[in-house]
Every structure is written in C-alpha cells, then in structure tokens.
Structure 1
C-alpha cells in the first residue's frame, strides 16, 4: 500500500536531488498500474525517466481546462500523434478525478519541472491544478471522489478510499510549508491551503465511525450532505475500510502538533485494528489459465487458508455495526467468504491484507513515544 504521507515526503526529497537525477514517478505508480491493467499493453513505448520535459509535456497535454486531470493515465508513455489529437479534443471534458491517488502527483511533478527548467507553462499549469484542488473542497471540509462527473453516481461523495482525503491533505501540508519545490507558490495560496487543511482535519475527526458507542475507523465514502457512509462502485458497499483507514491514521500522525482530539482518534483506531485482526490465516495465490475481463486479465486466483504460524490478516471491509468482515461481487451482491466471490473480483481486488501491521508495530509506538508522550499535543 502507498502511504501517502511518506510518499509525498519522498517526492519532496527527490526534488532537492541533483538535476541530473530523474524525477521520481512513484506518485503515479497506482495510475500506471491501472493503465496497464485496463489496456494490457505491457510493451507500450516509454520516454526515459530522465526526460523530465517529455513527461511534463504529457502531463500538460492531459490537463483539462478546469485544471484537473482524468485518472489512470501513464505520463511516461510515448504518445502517437493520433493519441495527442484525441487528448487535445478532450480538454473541455469534466472528467477529472482524485481516484487512484490522482491530481496532486501531477501538480508536484510540474512544480519540479518548473524548478528545473524555469519554463513558466509548468508553473501556470501547477497553479491551475492547485486551484482545482482548493475549489473542489466542500464547505464542510471534504473532497469528492470525482468533482462534477455526471457519469459517476458516487463522484460527489466525500471519499477516503484511494487516499483522497488524506492524500490531498498531505499534499496541501507540503504546499502550506512553502518548502521546495512549492516555494514559488504565492503566499495567499498557501493561506488558502492552511484554511482548507483546518476544515479537512475537523471533518476527519467528525467522520470516524462509532461502533457500540466507541470510535473505530473510517468508511470509504460519505454522502456530501448527510455525512452518512454510502456505497461507491457496485462492489464497494458502505463499510468500515481497513486499507483506507490506515492512510487516515498515518495522516493524523503526521500532524506536527496534534490536538487531544487527534490523539484520541488515533488511539481508538489503533485499538480497533488490534481487536479486529484475524489470526491464523493467510491468502494463498495460485496460477490459473489467463482469463480476460473488462478491467484486468486474471492470471492468478486466491483462497484463504488456515495457518497457525501465519501472522494474521485484516479483511478490507467490515460491517458498520458489527465489525464483521464481508465481501462483494461486481453486481453488488454481498457474501460472507472469499470463496463465494466470483473470479473477476476475487483475482482483481485485494480482500485481505496486512495493511495495519507497520502502523501497529512501528509507526504508532514511535509516534506515541516521540510526539505524544515526549512533548504532548
């Protein structure tokens, strides 16, 4: 799993490196992964990673006139003239999305391209992207999955899945700092970022789901008006979501001077993770004859097996009221075991994982010792 706070910090470090070093494309790893899954074009020609201008120009090309970007594009690809013409023709489309850790990696890369080249078109595009991020925030502090996307019923929902909320907020904290590569951003825009962060942080605390009266973790998405957990894609029913909630906790722990409310939210989430670990099981993957589906080609299958020596796992989805694991198919049908999930979703989605492990064993204890217990919020 990408830890967005660590990822953005790593990107910032890479920007301070020698200009001879390629700019990191790690921020696009999720988008690139989905592009390959969707197209199956594993041999697509690529620009050298050292060719910053070619990659930045691709990012400029994909940027919509509203300042955002569609998800799941591959910025390193060598585009044909026909592809370029098709992308240019789509400039007015309202298909930008924060899905799959999108938009803030493009702004970050363009900021670096501007710093290296001095080319003001990269600066202008990055600032337009920042304006898109800031304007997409609701008054209550949330960010939608895909603003103004008429093709997505769930596009307006406040979203934690794919690190939308923690990802955007982590990015804005970098902007707020005024540190390289964001030191060119005007002071009034950094002030806007500070205000957006304050609203977003308050909403995160407000949306922590209570189970039997105790704060637990977070749902993947919430209705932008009622603030109640809601379904997104057909196989993403309202649920407590572990993978997504780990990123939320990591973000909260990145806050320099956490309030007592932030500390309490982290403590409760960690307790929930500890209580809901599934011991003595592991996921076994095995090769199968490839089968092509719309969104991926299944080359492996998965099954849950008992193993007393295994460190244990967490399910991805837990019931909002009982904290019991559950699973779904693409048609939205809910099932209680991995074996009951159809191959398309069983092979194309991670239903179990060790996502909270590092948080519980390393990050949380260090945070408690160095930030909370040592200095206090």
Structure 2
C-alpha cells in the first residue's frame, strides 16, 4: 500500500470516529446500541431478517421507513435511496451482525450494498440521491440532509472499523479512494462569490458542480444547514490538505458573516416565525441568496421571497427555515488544530 493511501486511511479512521455525530438515529442505526448478545438472540435474528427483506435488488434500502419492525410484504417493491439516513444504518447493523453471528446472508447483503455505493459515485467524486440515476434533481450531487457526508462516513468505517473486518482489501482500497475523490469534490463545489470561497448549496450539478434547484422551494443558494455538516466533516479529518484547510477557514468566515442576532425562531403555521429577543442565540437561515447573502424563502410556486412571513402557512410551518447550525461549526473550529 502506498504512503498516500496509508495516510488517507489514518485520516478516515478519525473522520469515522468524530463525524459520526452528524448522523441522525434511524431505527436501523439505533440497533447499533444493542449489546453483542442481542444479535445472537431470537429477537435479534428476527429483526435482522426484517432488515434483509427490505434490501432492494440494487443493494440499498428505502427511506422514511422502519426497516426493522417487520418483514417486507412480497407484493411491495421498495425504492432504495441514500437520502434521509437510508441505507447507511442498515449496512452498518448487518456488518455488525455478521461479525458477531457469522451469518453469510448478512455478509452478502453488506457487500452488495457496498458495491452499489461505490458504483453510484460519479467520477468527479460526488454522489446522487439514489442510483440508478433519476432524470430529475435527484441525479445531482446531494449534500441535502447530510446524504453525501453520511456515505463518506460509512466508507471510512469500511476502511477501518472492526465490524467491516471481513471486507476484502480490494473493496477497502476502493472505499479509501472513493473518499479521497469525495473530499476533492467537496472542495471543488464550494461556492465562490467575488473571488472568495463561501459555503455550499444543498445540491450541486452532477457535471458542472454549480449550485442547482431541488424541490421548487429549494433554490440554488448558500445553505446554512448542509454547509455546517460539511464543515464539521472536513474538520474531523486528521490530516487535511491545504485546500481543505482553506475551505474550512473560508466557510467559518462565511458563517460568522451570515449569523442573525437578536431573534428567536418558531416553526409555526399561524404565529410569526421570528420574534425579537436580544438574549437569543444566533440563528442562520436555511438558504441565502448567493449574490447578496440575504436569507430567501419560497412556497411551492418557486417564487423567491425575502421575508418568511410572505410565504404561505403550509411551507412556513412545514419546513425548517432557520436553525442554530453555525454554533456547532464554531465549537468545532475553536478546537481545530489547523485554524
């Protein structure tokens, strides 16, 4: 193995351990909290059989569904995705199940999923929301809801975690290379405004890497939510390149420039979304207009508004438009040795 590959693997070990805090707990991920004995139990084996039943023909799993609760009905064809925490939890729990129990069915499912994830990566290093590719916005590089970051964290586990110790060296090396390309893609996707790198959009064009529209109310923009996850991931790398260090520094500077002080946010269909409070912690908008750095909002009609109260109650109360995302960025940056 080359020195570069060894360094990459050391980086991925740290990224796997530190960046896992970005992952929200899906039912499958929650099974990772179970003790080893549970995987040997009748209940454990039954639950893992449920998980197996929901794997698609391609090797992934559906989103927004409890794949642990019951077996898939024979007449249901699941639609797999990497979005909303799907797939990464299922492959992890089956890998652990194989390490503990040794059931070849778990091993086969893990390797099928891993091959699918590796095949889904674009040559430029990005991942779509699902694969085979959609003809719509799902085909673009997806940072939304941490999709691409979660895949990269998973691949770091494939390289270094004992649960994936059965994975052959060729696949481990492919996983390490995939993360190298992914990091390069992240740096290239960072949006430059007036010559200065800022942050990222929730989706970037699959070929040009430009920020692109997703759903009608998710415009090409600077994303406070997704960019926080990206920066925290980059700061978790043990040996970041000079390009990564610059990307982080510029991203943190943008978060400082974009903070909104003196307001509290309440997601509501009836009351005002923002209320003045000089003691409130800083907020960040979900989306900022690229050219002006102004927060933007939209209904399903796709019309950009600059005041959240100007959009209808359905989207105003049914979508998270503000959050404290930058606080976690600043906390990590304060302890980052490369700042």
TM-score by length of 1: 0.78
Matched, 1:175 2:158: yes
SS at match of 1:265: helix
Match for residue 215 of structure 2 among 233, 249, 255: 233
Aligned residue number for residue 187 of structure 2: 205
Matched, 1:66 2:58: yes
Aligned residue number for residue 325 of structure 1: 295
Aligned residue number for residue 26 of structure 1: none
Name stretches of at least 5 consecutive residues in structure 1 with no aligned partner. 24-47, 287-297
Sort the Cα spacing of 1:15 and 1:115 in 2 relative to 1 into closer, same or farther, 3 A: farther
Aligned residue number for residue 366 of structure 1: 335
Matched, 1:251 2:233: yes
Sort the Cα spacing of 1:164 and 1:9 in 2 relative to 1 into closer, same or farther, 3 A: closer
Aligned residue number for residue 273 of structure 1: 255
Sort the Cα spacing of 1:64 and 1:269 in 2 relative to 1 into closer, same or farther, 3 A: same
Aligned residue number for residue 19 of structure 1: 36
Quick check: 2:156–2:175 contact (8 Å CA) kept in 1? yes
- What is the CA-CA distance between 1:202 and the residue it aligns to? 0.7
**What CA deviation, in whole Å up to 9, does each residue of 1:64-108 have, x standing for no partner?**
1111222222123235xxx51223xx26xxx32111122111110
Name stretches of at least 5 consecutive residues in structure 2 with no aligned partner. 1-17
**What CA deviation, in whole Å up to 9, does each residue of 1:302-330 have, x standing for no partner?**
61111111122110000111111001112
Aligned residue number for residue 311 of structure 1: 281
- What is the CA-CA distance between 1:264 and the residue it aligns to? 1.0
Sort the Cα spacing of 1:301 and 1:85 in 2 relative to 1 into closer, same or farther, 3 A: farther
Aligned residue number for residue 96 of structure 2: 112
**What CA deviation, in whole Å up to 9, does each residue of 1:105-131 have, x standing for no partner?**
111011112122211101100110001
Which structure shows the bigger proportion of residues in helix conformation?
2
Quick check: 2:24–2:85 contact (8 Å CA) kept in 1? no
What's the C-alpha RMSD, in Å, of the aligned pairs? 2.7
Match for residue 324 of structure 2 among 354, 357, 371: 354
CA distance in 2, matches of 1:61, 1:5: 26
Question: How many residues in Structure 1 have an aligned counterpart in Structure 2?
Answer: 320
CA distance in 1, matches of 2:110, 2:85: 16
Quick check: 2:294–2:306 contact (8 Å CA) kept in 1? no
**What CA deviation, in whole Å up to 9, does each residue of 1:245-277 have, x standing for no partner?**
111011111112111111111111011001110
- What is the CA-CA distance between 1:18 and the residue it aligns to? 3.7
SS at match of 1:332: coil
Deviating beyond 4 angstroms after TM superposition, the runs of 4 or more aligned structure 1 residues are 7-17
CA distance in 1, matches of 2:154, 2:206: 22
SS at match of 1:84: coil
Aligned residue number for residue 224 of structure 1: 206
